[in-house]
Amino acid sequence: MDLHTYLAQCRELIDGALDRYLPPADASVDRLHEALRYSVLAPGKRLRPVLVLAGAEAVGGDPTTVIPTACALECIHAFSLIHDDLPCMDDDDYRRGRLTSHKVFGEASALLAGDALLALAFELIAESAAQVPAGRGAAVVALIARASGTRGMVGGQVLDMAAEGRNVGGDALDQIHALKTGALITAAVTAGAMLCTDDVRSIEALQRYGQAVGLAFQIADDILDVVGDESKIGKPVGSDVRQDKMTYPRLYGIDESRRRAQTLVDEAIRALSPLGPGADPLRAIARYIVERDV
Amino acid sequence: MDLHTYLAQCRELIDGALDRYLPPADASVDRLHEALRYSVLAPGKRLRPVLVLAGAEAVGGDPTTVIPTACALECIHAFSLIHDDLPCMDDDDYRRGRLTSHKVFGEASALLAGDALLALAFELIAESAAQVPAGRGAAVVALIARASGTRGMVGGQVLDMAAEGRNVGGDALDQIHALKTGALITAAVTAGAMLCTDDVRSIEALQRYGQAVGLAFQIADDILDVVGDESKIGKPVGSDVRQDKMTYPRLYGIDESRRRAQTLVDEAIRALSPLGPGADPLRAIARYIVERDV
């Protein structure tokens, strides 16, 4: 399989669906809908929705049936970026090479746009849940809610803030990113599968895949922040160091960080061994995560 | 029936369940869990969760089965209050007679506590959804998500901000509050019923009830802001006027506002006519909403 063709097809599918699911940029609620669209439809890798589709495919499901949930994951990702960028958080002016939401729409509107995207995500997940047996749909809602909250993304964000300026060790750093980045990535690939199968062995395999790939993704991100191409990653290189954040390269050096990321990718691919060729896109995505330059 | 006994019993049931559902105030994610508990368990009327229980009872359902969703509605309410109080929004120092979340935990933590509560709400709704037929559970998730987002609470908040300092008319004021307050109140009473029945006629009756009662509640709130007892309502009287907000008393005067609230209460009670004595608590709550002094 050709990964770049696969990713391009997924992205096209997802961007079309996002455009339909996002409310129109009319003036009915001032510029709120415009703010939603500005952040969600910004150019991006669409990694989380792609993982939902690939998770469904890995268990023999029809990826088109999980599209609402795939879009929901991108809404949750966008919500977290908008709130992370706010002045009381990281106070960033640029994101993905464009002005951040609060710089364009103001702080109050950005706050509310983030809130609205989290709510919209559950509307979309409900659309997927309505099409599968009750227990399965409810489990997917619970899974994604948990991955977004205190035992997931928000919890990781809090730990990350608490660690700023402190010398955290490797285990603490892993824990921060397992929650902050890993939980939602794991939820994405697992949710895609859970909407299509009840097979516990497959679902657990995808969970392990998600956890390994999530951490590898963060290490690769940290490396790009040191050696990346500013024009490609869309934000100034070196921002982690300036914010006095502990990172993998800072803790282990670039070479050892690369080795760790590669070990995690191998682990992720091994986790997929119970799954057949339907999981090939996931295998290719795992390799891509450490090879990408953006 | 005695409303005050009924409300006290509901509140006890809900506060016990909230205490169990909220994560323990340990240090695993810094003070995040403490911040969640601080806001959700603050003394309050618990109107939205009571409406979930009463909505279930109105259609002959067992109110104890909808407790997770009742708690979810209180989490969503608390999330909205935390974010409304932030410096970039209303910048309030006090709420329900206590310091606001960002005054106690800092701005970033308050922002994230709000986010976490919205996510937690959907974990709880999923718990209710898992116990009912698929379509019904998914419909409840979608209903509450929609009522929280751009076509509900967040949309109303945006319209409210846009209206500040402007002379809005009665229709625009109704629209703001139908979204900002009414949508979640309507979702509460409807969700309680939808988890227990598929009877469309009953559900539509409760929808009409919620819409009327939601608006009556807001008018009563506006009146209390003018004539209320500061020690009872827990915030300074007259804050709406100081913030240059359009209110019902300002638009219609106190007497006409009271008449409008009463008309809405009559409308709400009339909407319940297809329902039997199981809806008596809802009838009493409608009357209480305009008679309360807190």
The tens place of each residue's pLDDT in chain B, 294 residues long, gives 899 999 999 999 999 999 999 999 988 899 999 999 999 999 999 999 999 999 999 999 988 889 999 999 999 999 999 999 999 999 999 987 899 999 999 999 999 999 999 999 999 999 999 999 878 999 999 999 999 999 999 999 999 999 988 889 999 999 999 999 999 999 999 999 999 999 999 999 999 999 999 999 999 999 998 987 776 666 666 767 666 788 999 999 999 999 999 999 999 999 999 999 999 999 999 999 988 876
3-state helix, strand, coil in chain A (%, to 5): 75, 5, 25
As to burial, measured by CB atoms within 10 angstroms (0-12 exposed, 13-18 middle, 19+ buried), residue A73 is buried
pLDDT at B71: 98
Say which residues have a Cβ less than 8 Å from residue B166's Cβ, sequence separation at least 6.
B246
Nearest to B145 among A122, A134, A136 (CB): A122
Chain A, nearest residue to B22 by Cα: A150
Number of domains in chain B: 1
pLDDT in tens, A31-42: 999 999 999 999
Residue B31 pairs in a beta bridge with B29
A166 DSSP assignment? S
Q: What is the DSSP string of A216-245?
A: HHHHHHHHHHHHS-HHHHSS-TTHHHHTT-
pLDDT at A245: 83
CB contact under 8 A, B109 and A158: yes
pLDDT at A236: 65
Domain that holds residue A96: 3-291
Residue whose pair of structure tokens reads 């994560």 in the numeric block: B23
Chain A, nearest residue to B25 by Cα: A150
Set of chain A residues whose Cβ sits within 8 Å of the Cβ of B145: 119-123, 126
- Higher-confidence residue: A292 or B9? B9
CATH number at residue A62: 1.10.600.10
Q: What is the largest CA-CA distance in chain A?
A: 53
Instruction: Kindly report the nearest CA distance between residue A191 and chain B, in angstroms.
Output: 14
- Interface test mutation site (partner B, options A21, A30, A31, A32, max chain B beta carbons within 10 A): A32
Size of interface A-B (CB pairs under 8 A): 181
The band of A231, judged by pLDDT with boundaries at 50, 70 and 90, is low
CB contact under 8 A, B141 and A133: no
Please give the Cα distance from B48 to B181 (Å, whole number): 10
pLDDT in tens, A55-110: 999 999 988 889 999 999 999 999 999 999 999 999 999 987 899 999 999 999 99
